[in-house]
Amino acid sequence: MTGTLFIVSTPIGNLEDMTLRAIRTLKDVSIIAAEDTRRTQKICTYYDIQTTLTSYHDFNKEEKTPVLLQRLEEGTDVAIVSDAGTPLISDPGYYLTRAAIAQQISVVPIPGASAILAALTASGLPPDTFVFQGFLPKKSGARTQILTKLVEETRTIILFETPYRIRITLESIQQVFGSRQIVIARELTKLNEEFLRGSAEDLLHTRLAQRVKGEITLLIEGLHTKKLKRLE
């Protein structure tokens, strides 16, 4: 009998945002495959989880996937966690999950914290439909190309960004989207959590023009239907 691969969501900042099911699962499995074992160890210490940790990230996924698959095929239960939040969203967990499914190994999600949904629900932008784009490319031309493809998107657009690139990203958004409403969600669930709202130009005149700390979730207002009709 094969083991089960559990996709376990962990807190995005506040350690209290850990579900009881997630804690139990991490205690019950034999191995936790973690994107960064140092960060996951903090969670394990906080909740007295003694399970063995092994690293699983973009730079070793091709090497470690066969090892974890073998353990699963031998009947060992494995949990995969990301640095924060729900695995597989902008992390290498998809590679292992797809391989497990191909081997007909059971995959079970353990839902929990998500920066995407946390930011969306408090943004004030329409939450009924949205599109997640992840991180934009570092190169200016590729970044502008993707934003241009999204300019007529009617759903709320959600991106991830680093504090080091937020200024150039806002400049690109201003160039492509003009005065569209933007929401910056920074340091979600942490002590310094904040939401900044306005156009890209407005936000460029805040302290985001300087270097700030913390991961950023950025939301862009979708194109209103009336605006879309005027473009036709």
CATH code assigned at 87 = 3.40.1010.10
pLDDT of 225 reads 53
Containing domain of residue 11, as a range? Answer: 4-110
Based on the fold, state whether residues 172 and 199 are members of the same structural domain: yes
Q: What is the pLDDT along the chain (232 residues), one digit of tens a residue?
A: 899 999 999 999 999 999 999 999 999 999 999 999 999 999 999 999 999 999 999 999 999 999 999 999 999 999 999 999 999 887 888 999 999 999 999 999 999 999 999 999 999 999 999 999 999 999 999 999 999 999 999 999 999 999 989 999 999 999 999 999 999 999 999 999 999 999 999 999 887 756 678 889 999 999 985 554 444 4
Phi, psi (degrees; rounded to nearest 5) at 154? -85, -15
Q: Does one domain contain both 106 and 206? A: no
Task: List, in sequence order, every residue forming a beta bridge with 85; answer none if it has no partner.
Answer: 10
CB 104 within 8 A of CB 68: no
Are 125 and 106 found together in one domain?
no
DSSP-assigned beta bridge partners for residue 158: 132, 219
Rounded percentage of the chain residues whose pLDDT exceeds 70: 95
Name the domain count of the chain: 2
Q: For the domain that residue 212 is a member of, what is the CATH number? A: 3.30.950.10
**For the stretch 172-183, what's the b/e string if a residue is b when 16 or more beta carbons lie within 10 angstroms of its beta carbon?**
bbbebbeebbbb
Which of 110, 142, 165 is the endpoint of a domain? 110
Residues 79 and 139 in one domain: no
